Structure 1
Amino acid sequence: MKLLFILLTLISATSLAFEAHVANYQLSIGGFKIAEEVRTLKPLEGSYFYTANAKTSGLAALIKDYSIAAESTFSINNAGVDSSTYQIIEREDKEISKNRSINIDSNLQVVTSALNTAQPKINNWKVNQGNIVDPLSLFLALSFDLKNKPDQSLFSYQVADGKSIKRYDFKKSGNQRIHLENKDYNAIKIKRINHKSGQIEAYFLPAYQYLPALIKQTKKGRNYTYKMTTLNISTAKGLQVVF
């Protein structure tokens, strides 16, 4: 009977997972638009491949040619999103300024850095029992939990970024209407708690896979805003433009 319950839970979690999609975001700092980002999610066999590519645009691109490419591989289990690999590469004027890559194993409770020219030494981090996410899959973990745990208001995650392991705690702060592309949407507001610096406030859309439509962050006194501009969800009929 217990085995049947576990199997049903796993099947339910998989059936309520993500559809393939492409989301475009605009990044602003202090109200000044500086970059465009494209996030793409593709299902793999038993897992997902998630990428983000951001590049300075407009006047900001004339000042500095800066780009970020990140990718994450993760799966879904009965506890939610569980990452297995993560890499981020930053370039300034075509030169690589950061290259971090890690392998994640929540079953063994360990995160291991991968060797590259920027990481000539292998590092290992022990983590607590439970799922592990990375900075890229973090908001998808929230999306999944908001959809599948509607009665839960507090969410905690172990986040591995190739430099350390940090705990992120979030609290659901009710519903709020947000305005995007000349339309109003009902969004779930989430705030990061138990943390003095690096505040995060995000708005997730139940109508569209609970994906984050607006993310506000404070880093070192600067206010960053990520705003979704378009979302294409893959369906049996092809790519559908939602808004």
Structure 2
Amino acid sequence: MSINGVKIAEEVRTLHQLGDQYFYTANAKTSGLAALIKDYTISASSTFLINKEGVGSINYQILEQEGKQVSENYVIDINSKSGTVMSGLTKTQPKVITWKVKKGNVVDPLSLFLALSYDLKDRPNQSEFSYQVADGKSVEQQYYKKTENQIVSVDNQTFNAIKVERINSENNNMQAYFLSEYRYLPVIIKMTKGSKKYRYEIKDFKASEVEKLQVSF
């Protein structure tokens, strides 16, 4: 994982199946020379299910720290049936907020990529996708466009990827490249959040069990 062109950490994402639900985690910590400049850690998790509409989140949590300072800490519970998203009390969210959402699934910033993976595989003829995304600060409708036959290089290998990019958004842009060889998981992710530009490139992929899948960026 790099920020503004500087590699700062390795992020490990792990997916577990727990009955009819799934638990997805992402953990990163600065390493190498970057750790001498600033200590950065992030820990996030998403619990979700898969129904006829695709991926639907149930719970999302994130804790991001720069040094000893908490920069982002949110917890939300999502109830798609009742159409509500409720925040928990955290250091960066000192009061409980409830959002009303449209009928249908809601995803979070972590499960969003699995929702895209699922839809790319399950809906191959669809070129545009939209999701209600809840992150603890707001709930917004996000729109994405698919472009096939994009050549990318990963670990000195060339692949024919599917590019998905966010559309109708000026401040928070995202591009991700998915490979069918990797179960339609993203192998490169580029995101812009304000002045920060994030880049994730897959380093390792393990799928030794049906119930567990692990990816390192």
- Relative to the length of structure 1, the TM-score reads 0.82
* Residue 74 of structure 1 pairs with residue 80 of structure 2: no
Query: Of 98, 123, 136, which aligns to 1:149?
Result: 123
Aligned residues: 214
Larger Rg: 1
The AA in structure 1 aligned to 2:133 is V
Aligned partners of 1:234 and 1:240 also within 8 Å? no
User: Which residue number corresponds to residue 64 of structure 2?
Assistant: 90
Q: Percent identity?
A: 57
Q: What is the CA distance between 1:116 and its match in structure 2?
A: 4.2
Tell me the secondary structure at the aligned position of residue 135 of structure 1: coil
For structure 2, list consecutive stretches of 5 or more residues without a partner in the other structure: none
User: Which residue number corresponds to residue 140 of structure 1?
Assistant: 114
For structure 1, list consecutive stretches of 5 or more residues without a partner in the other structure: 1-26
User: Which residue number corresponds to residue 182 of structure 2?
Assistant: 208
**Distance of 1:110 and 1:175 partners within structure 2:** 38
Query: Deviation string for 1:134-186 (max 9, x for gaps)?
Result: 00100110000000000000000000001100111000112212111222222
- Relative to the length of structure 2, the TM-score reads 0.92
* Residue 37 of structure 1 pairs with residue 11 of structure 2: yes
The runs of at least 4 consecutive aligned structure 1 residues that moved more than 6 Å come to 238-241
Q: What is the CA distance between 1:94 and its match in structure 2?
A: 4.2
User: Which residue number corresponds to residue 121 of structure 1?
Assistant: 95
Aligned partners of 1:157 and 1:167 also within 8 Å? yes
Query: Of 152, 158, 179, which aligns to 1:178?
Result: 152
Q: What is the CA distance between 1:95 and its match in structure 2?
A: 4.8
Aligned partners of 1:186 and 1:206 also within 8 Å? no
The AA in structure 2 aligned to 1:82 is G
What does 1:217-228 align with in structure 2 at a 5 Å threshold?
A: 217-228=191-202
**Distance of 2:213 and 2:118 partners within structure 1:** 21
The AA in structure 1 aligned to 2:184 is Y
Q: What is the CA distance between 1:84 and its match in structure 2?
A: 0.2
